[in-house]
Amino acid sequence: MKKQILCVVLSSLIFLGAFLIASKKETVLDLPPNTPIEETPDLFESEKMLATQKINTMSLDEKIGQLFLVRIPEQGIEQDIENYQFGGLLFFAKDFKNLTKSEVQNKIRSYQSFAKIPMLMAVDEEGGTVSRLSNNKNLVAEPFLSPSELYQNGGLEAIKEDTIRKTNILSELGLNLNLAPVVDIALKKEDYMFERSLQEDAEKTSEYAKIIIQTSDPTKLSFTLKHFPGYGNNSDTHQDKSIDTRDINTIKQQDLKPFEAGINAGAEAILISHNIVTAMDPVNPASLSPSVHDLLKNELHFSGVIITDNLDMAGVNMDEETKIYKALTSGNDLLITTDYKNDILIVKKLLSEKVIDEELINEKVIKLLAWKYYKKLI
């Protein structure tokens, strides 16, 4: 009897072992070749279902409007918000001139009231030479210092305190997106970005990028790393075409490091420059280059929102239809523009002529909506 029981137990163990081995083999065989063990998570993955539900309630015109971060014109913006349903507005110093805190708050609330989906309210508040609020003492008691001044006076702790201060002041006004920090590496006074940069090497600039992203609070104010893939010592793309002829190893070992550090810290948005970086693309400005966007997404594993620099700058001097087509197909999600009426007409034309399809628009809008859910705007 004991022998019979022992045989049954042994048979069961052999069967169980064979089953586990077979299961293990089957699992391995089911995996595609070269499947990575762990994939980089999508930053807004949890919000995509809500975004997909939201986009199904939107018209094509409303979806097109979400693609644009619009520089505010002198007049008529309220009606245009209602007509176009922009993704967001971009404020400059003129939009705050002589206003009190309550006047700015009321202005922004009024703008938001015309939008079916809450808009991004953006500003370039770098500190130092580019500070849209600091000239108005009604809004900021003491002007924001430049990154280099902060770092030289108090190191990373001063950067952290400044980030918290900017977050509190801007978000209280109703702003929710800062197109800063500048994480370009500029070490010479003659470099165009020198005054706006940290004026330190790749290692210190990487720490700078990391501390700002770690300190930021997206539900109040999101920060944007710029100007990818690094400005170097290039000329001003506001004025003319700018060409970077450095080799790819120099760019990767130096300029990309701060962006990589910021991405690893959870950066939500990156702004792309209009520099032509010949080592990546000898023809297209970075903002319109598929290869530059491919590097950002696939080598640096950035899954957040990619924003163009203003498409009306001289550094992207080409016919408007080609510019908008390249901006949409190269990998950007959000387009900064001044001439938004014309640009929106071009998007509609490209769709009607089937040069691009609605699926491309949907893909971008889902990411933008997911970001707005992530930021608790919606």
Clarify whether residues 115 and 195 are in a common domain: yes
Q: Is residue 38 part of a domain?
A: no
Domain co-membership, 11 together with 153: no
Instruction: Write the pLDDT tens digit of every residue in 42-95.
Output: 999 999 999 999 999 999 999 999 999 999 999 999 999 999 999 999 999 999
In this structure, the answer to whether residues 367 and 256 fall within a common structural domain is yes
**Prediction pTM value:** 0.88
369 is a domain residue: yes
Residue type, 292: V
Domain check: are 75 and 216 in the same one? yes
Closest CA to 68 of 350, 368, 335: 335
**Same domain, yes or no: 157 and 18:** no
Residue 10 reports pLDDT greater than 70: no
Mean pLDDT, range 21-35, rounded to an integer: 33
Same domain for 200 and 321, yes or no, is yes
pLDDT per residue over 122-136, tens digit each?
999 999 999 999 889
Residues 22 and 84 in one domain: no
Q: Establish if 247 belongs to a structural domain.
A: yes
In the chain, alpha helices (H): 2-30, 48-55, 60-66, 77-84, 101-113, 147-173, 202-215, 248-250, 256-264, 290-294, 320-329, 340-352, 358-374
Question: pLDDT tens for residues 159-184?
Answer: 999 999 999 999 999 999 999 999 99
Claim to verify: residue 16 and residue 96 sit in the same structural domain = no
Q: Is the pLDDT of residue 30 over 50?
A: no
Do both 128 and 212 map to the same domain?
A: yes
For residue 194, is it within any domain?
yes
Residue 127 in domain: yes
In a domain, 227, yes or no: yes
Instruction: Give the least confident one: 14-28, 42-56, 297-311.
Output: 14-28
Q: Which residue has the higher pLDDT, 67 or 16?
A: 67
CATH number for position 351: 3.20.20.300
* pLDDT given at position 242: 82
| 21 and 75 in a common domain | no
Is residue 227 scored above 50 in pLDDT? yes
Confidence label for 237 from pLDDT (cuts 50, 70 and 90):
low
> Quick one: 224 and 366 in the same domain?
yes
Residue pair 230/275 in contact (Cβ under 8 Å)? The answer is no
Instruction: Work out the pLDDT band at 40, boundaries 50, 70, 90.
Output: low
Contact yes or no for 89/121 (Cβ under 8 A): yes
How much is the pLDDT for 134?
84
Q: Cis peptide before 227, with omega less than 30 degrees from 0?
A: yes
- Place 324 in a pLDDT band, splitting at 50, 70 and 90: very high
Residues 158 and 178 in one domain: yes
Q: Which domain holds residue 20?
A: 1-33
The answer to whether the Cα torsion of 130, 131, 137, 143 is positive or negative is negative
| Domain total of the chain | 2
Alpha-carbon Rg for the chain, nearest whole angstrom, is 25
